[in-house]
């Protein structure tokens, strides 16, 4: 059985998204900045895509700029808000300890440039409280940036409440919604969001294209200087096929958000219940306030990379927060922020399922993970020490 | 290209010498759980020969493959040869490891050296200079 269970990393493109792109490579390949017909046709398509995206988010088309993806959108949002804050002498930014690196590393750079960064604690449930945000806001706070849903553990943050607080206090509010768009209903006006980042490949669109929503009146700084594209806020010829794929995928995902969630959520819960039966394991993040497709566990006394390789042998594509799988040899900052011990964070597994998941596949995954964990424990000296009482269990 | 070559994957999927030896007369461990790798090596030495060897490993694919290959390389060999086993020999026998996984082969060498030291101690024999002088190779990119 082949199961792709890493939809938080990227998704399979939808047929509708692929078909939406093809004409803009083969026929309407003109540059949207050109005045002749196929240029203007491309321009019209681009603007219709902008309307689609704006419609899905509940904003106006002029508030959307297309980017190369979520990371670029995050960077532009953060550097823009910081620069606007600095002009007013406000150099304090609030975020959380478990943001995506696109946000955390941008914040690190701002810190070096003299900004003060407050990272809110998310330990325990992986959900920040609106009260924490309210208490952290100071007169010199220029930006609150909090992710909509976490990329590793899928926990959904109380964005509407945080948005209301920020609006009341007059602080710009950005949310990295890369994991949430197309999976949960979002309305930027109702939720008082000033800036929002999204990425097409997380909802069955193409890679290398995303968007930044920026509320009218919030100043934007260019990351890429160039021509007058995107209202002069992002130079470079627009990725028209990619943008058409993004819009088609977003419309499709948003049209069936409730239907998809109704299908995926019970299967996610079945998967969680199945994995919870493995002794000395724990679900990471709140069990209710989480994305419909996210399951993330830690298993004591095993290491994540071995787990992934053996699951791959069984046809399952998954991911882990283990140091060995990170490329940086550091355990997941998200799991550490939750309060997991480092040795436990090494034994983590993320299964992120999509609309095509079946109960049969869920049951197969439960059995496969159970077998692989049991095998790896059987050859683990840590497991032996735990069994012989030479080491204390961390996960009861 | 896959993360690991076929040889490494073979030793990861079908590790040789896996498991503790009940009658081991030399046991050694390397690594720590915080770093994400622990290797434990069990030796049964008779008449100066490594008659049997076993291992237990908590770690990534290359850690398990390195343990398997390292124990394979010393099995049936005179103790003096086991003492000479280097992490380089383990990497070569595995036909290469990704650069950032080379430290797994170092852990294997360390665990074997520790098990040999334990054997010499238990036998009341002098610890060979080779072990006393041993410093694990500098781990690259770790």
A328 or A359, which is more confident? A359
A328 or A377, which is more confident? A377
CA distance A376 to A378: 5
Least confident of A230-234, A357-361, A391-395, B134-138: B134-138
- Level-2 CATH architecture, domain B6-127: Alpha-Beta Complex (3.90)
| Chain B residue with Cα closest to A320 | B60
A324 assigned to active site? yes
Above pLDDT 70, what percent of chain A? 98
Task: List, for residues A141-168, the tens digit of each pLDDT value.
Answer: 999 999 999 999 999 999 999 999 999 9
Task: List, for residues B37-54, the tens digit of each pLDDT value.
Answer: 999 999 999 999 999 999
Q: Which long-range contacts (CB under 8 A, 24 or more apart) does B119-123 make?
A: B119/B25, B119/B26, B119/B43, B119/B45, B119/B79, B120/B26, B122/B25, B122/B26, B123/B25
Walk me through the domains of chain A, giving residue ranges and CATH numbers: 15-255 (3.40.640.10), 257-387 (3.90.1150.10)
B35 or A373, which is more confident? A373
How many CB pairs below 8 Å do chains A and B form together? 68
Average pLDDT of A239-244?
A: 98
Of A309, A310, A346, the CB nearest to B36: A346
The whole-number pLDDT of residue A244 equals 98
Residues of chain B neighbouring A381 (CB-CB closer than 8 A): 29, 38-40, 56-58
Chain A interface, best mutation among B33, B57, B61, B67, by max A CB count within 10 A: B33
Catalytic residues of B: 35, 104
**Summary mean pLDDT of chain A:** 96
Residues of chain B neighbouring A303 (CB-CB closer than 8 A): 36-37, 58-60, 63
Average pLDDT of A327-339?
A: 87
Cβ–Cβ of B56/A324 closer than 8 Å?
no
Task: List, for residues A256-267, the tens digit of each pLDDT value.
Answer: 999 999 999 999
Residue B74 pLDDT exceeds 60: yes
Q: Could you count the other beta carbons within 10 Å of the beta carbon of residue A363?
A: 14
Average pLDDT of A114-118?
A: 98
Q: How far is CA A61 from the centre of its chain?
A: 23
The whole-number pLDDT of residue A327 equals 63
| Predicted confidence band of residue B130 (pLDDT cuts 50, 70, 90) | confident
Residue A13 pLDDT exceeds 60: yes
The whole-number pLDDT of residue B142 equals 40
CA distance A386 to A379: 13
Residue B141 pLDDT exceeds 60: no
The dihedral sign for the CA sequence A254, A258, A261, A263: negative
CA distance A209 to A205: 9
Average pLDDT of A198-210?
A: 98
Instruction: Give the ipTM of the model, two decimals please.
Output: 0.93
Average pLDDT of A354-381?
A: 98
């Amino acid at each position: 059985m082949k199961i792709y269970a890493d939809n938080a990393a990227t998704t399979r493109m939808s047929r509708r998204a692929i078909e939406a792109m093809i004409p803009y490579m083969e026929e309407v390949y003109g540059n949207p900045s050109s005045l002749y017909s196929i240029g203007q046709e491309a321009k019209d398509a681009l603007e219709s895509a902008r309307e689609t995206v704006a419609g899905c988010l509940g904003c106006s088309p002029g508030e959307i700029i297309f980017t190369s993806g979520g990371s670029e959108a995050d960077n532009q949002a953060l550097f823009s808000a910081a620069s606007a804050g600095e002009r007013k002498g406000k150099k304090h930014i609030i975020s959380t300890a478990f943001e995506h690196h696109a946000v955390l590393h941008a914040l690190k750079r701002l810190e070096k440039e003299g900004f003060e960064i407050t990272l809110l604690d998310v330990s325990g449930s992986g959900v920040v409280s609106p009260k924490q945000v309210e208490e952290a806001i100071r007169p010199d706070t220029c930006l609150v940036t909090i992710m909509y849903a976490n990329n590793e553990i899928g926990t959904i943050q109380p964005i509407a409440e945080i948005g209301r607080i920020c609006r009341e206090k007059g602080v710009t509010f950005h949310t990295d919604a890369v994991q949430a768009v197309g999976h949960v209903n979002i309305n930027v006006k109702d939720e008082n969001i000033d800036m929002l980042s999204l990425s097409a490949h997380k909802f069955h669109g193409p890679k290398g294209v995303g968007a930044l929503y920026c509320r009218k009146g919030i100043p934007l700084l260019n990351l890429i200087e160039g021509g007058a594209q995107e209202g002069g806020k992002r130079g470079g010829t627009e990725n028209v096929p990619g943008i058409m794929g993004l819009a088609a995928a977003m419309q499709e995902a948003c049209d069936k958000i409730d239907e998809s969630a109704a299908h995926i959520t019970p299967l996610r819960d079945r998967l969680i219940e199945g994995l919870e039966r493995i002794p000395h394991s724990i679900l990471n993040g709140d069990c209710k306030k989480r994305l419909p497709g996210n399951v993330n566990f830690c298993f004591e006394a095993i290491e994540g990379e071995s787990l992934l390789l053996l699951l791959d042998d069984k046809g399952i594509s998954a991911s882990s927060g283990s140091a060995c799988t990170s490329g940086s040899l550091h355990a997941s900052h998200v799991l550490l922020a939750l309060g997991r011990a480092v040795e436990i964070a090494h034994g983590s597994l993320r299964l992120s399922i999509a609309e095509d998941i079946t109960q049969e596949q869920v049951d197969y995954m439960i059995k496969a993970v159970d077998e692989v964990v049991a095998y790896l424990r059987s050859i683990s000296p840590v497991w032996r020490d735990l069994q012989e009482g030479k080491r204390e269990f961390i996960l009861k | 290209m896959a993360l690991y070559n076929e040889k490494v994957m073979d030793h990861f999927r079908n590790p040789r010498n896996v498991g503790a030896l009940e009658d081991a007369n030399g046991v050694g461990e390397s690594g720590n759980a915080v770093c994400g790798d622990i290797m434990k090596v069990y030796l049964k030495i008779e008449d100066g020969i490594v008659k049997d060897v076993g291992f237990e490993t908590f770690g990534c694919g290359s850690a398990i493959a390195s343990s398997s290959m390292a124990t394979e390389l010393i099995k049936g060999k005179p103790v003096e040869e086991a003492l000479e086993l280097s992490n380089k020999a383990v990497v070569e026998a595995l036909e290469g490891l990704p650069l950032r996984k080379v430290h797994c082969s170092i852990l294997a060498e360390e665990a074997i050296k520790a098990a040999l030291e334990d054997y010499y101690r238990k036998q009341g024999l002098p610890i060979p200079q080779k072990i006393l002088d041993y410093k694990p190779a500098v781990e690259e990119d770790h």
